[in-house]
Structure 1
Amino acid sequence: MTQHPPTGPGFGPPPPQYAPTPPPYAPQPPYAQAPQPPYVQAPPPQPAAGPDFLAVDKRNAVVVDASGVAFETSGLTVEFRWPEIRGVHYRASPDGKALMVAVVHMDGRFYECVVEARPRTRLQEWFPQLAWVLGHYRPMG
């Protein structure tokens, strides 16, 4: 049988004369629990209402709103949410008859939609509207 050396001061529990006195036991009232409502799945959060931009011709459309940018081309719709958009660029077509809008995706892919402006003066109306809406959702700086 191995003997261990006796414990010296500072090791083990304090001697009984130095131990703190436990507080007297006082029964506590049980916690009341509020009734739990049945689980109802919350609807997905809707983007806050804000300005939007819409340019449409016979075949194509560009929409910019609180959720992001959407292109419709010949009946197919592609939506880009703001968190996945690196940049949005726009300009007039080389002949000045259409609005060209491009979305640069976060991974570098590039998507473009061209909307014909009829009458041609509509193009000059679209530029300030589009600039204002994009500035609202994607301020520079």
Structure 2
Amino acid sequence: MDQRIGSSSQPVKGEPVMGAGFDPAFIPGITAQAAGPEAEDAKPTEEAGRPVPEPAGEPEPEAAARTAEAPAEPEEEPEEEPEAVKDGPVFEVSDRRARFAADHRGVRLSLDEESCEFRWNEIAAVETESPRFGKRFTITVHTPDRRWYPIEIEAAARARFKEWESELDAVLDAYFEEA
């Protein structure tokens, strides 16, 4: 007698595979849907008995004339802000693994090799939490789409927590505007 371990439901053939029920790495809006094995191997050869035309090696003369007439636009380079220090408060804390920085550009979090950056208009709230025991100070950045990004910084002493909260409050008062 054979027993199957796991779900016996299979996706219907021809239906797109959706959701974490079939792909645990699927995140709507971020990752692409997984294509079935038949979609990866399939090449457009013949549809309904008609051969698929091969793409021509040379472009059509009309398309070449249109591209020749159009002025070449220079490629836009991403706007880099000069690293000049602006007048205003800056808050930076870090430990051996984590780092939190807030200044005129926004908020930057990093943990080991992972990092993320938020401009001030992308932030809904910034929350701090001091534990009753221990030396790990938690800063959580909330976004308008109801996501949150916590980071824990280990302090050398618990006395640093009040100092960090007052420095962060000064930065938030200067740059963060509630909508």
Secondary structure of the residue that 2:168 maps to in structure 1?
A: helix
Aligned twin of 2:98: 60
Deviations 1:39-66 (A, max 9, x none): 8968726388232100111111111111
Aligned twin of 1:75: 113
Kindly tell me the number of residue pairs found equivalent between the two proteins. 103
Aligned twin of 1:20: none
Aligned twin of 1:46: 81
Q: Aligned AA for 2:105?
A: S
Matches within 5 A, 1:1-141: 44=79, 46=81, 49=86, 50-139=88-177
Q: How far is the alpha carbon of 1:124 from its aligned partner?
A: 2.4
Provide TM-score, normalisation by structure 1: 0.62
Secondary structure of the residue that 1:106 maps to in structure 2?
A: coil
Distance change in 2, residues 1:74/1:43 (3 Å):
closer
Distance change in 2, residues 1:40/1:79 (3 Å):
closer
Q: Which structure has the greater CA radius of gyration? A: 1
Q: What stretches of structure 1 of length at least 5 have no aligned partner?
A: 1-38
Higher relative contact order (CA 8 A, sep 6+): 1
Q: Aligned AA for 2:81?
A: Q
User: Which structure has more strand as a fraction of its residues?
Assistant: 1
Distance change in 2, residues 1:125/1:43 (3 Å):
same
Q: What stretches of structure 2 of length at least 5 have no aligned partner?
A: 1-73
Secondary structure of the residue that 1:136 maps to in structure 2?
A: helix
Distance change in 2, residues 1:41/1:102 (3 Å):
same
Q: Aligned AA for 2:126?
A: V
Instruction: Give distance in 2, aligned partners of 1:124 and 1:56.
Output: 16
Instruction: Give distance in 1, aligned partners of 2:130 and 2:122.
Output: 25
Q: CA RMSD in A?
A: 2.5
Q: What is the percentage of aligned positions where both structures have the same residue?
A: 32
Deviations 1:2-23 (A, max 9, x none): xxxxxxxxxxxxxxxxxxxxxx
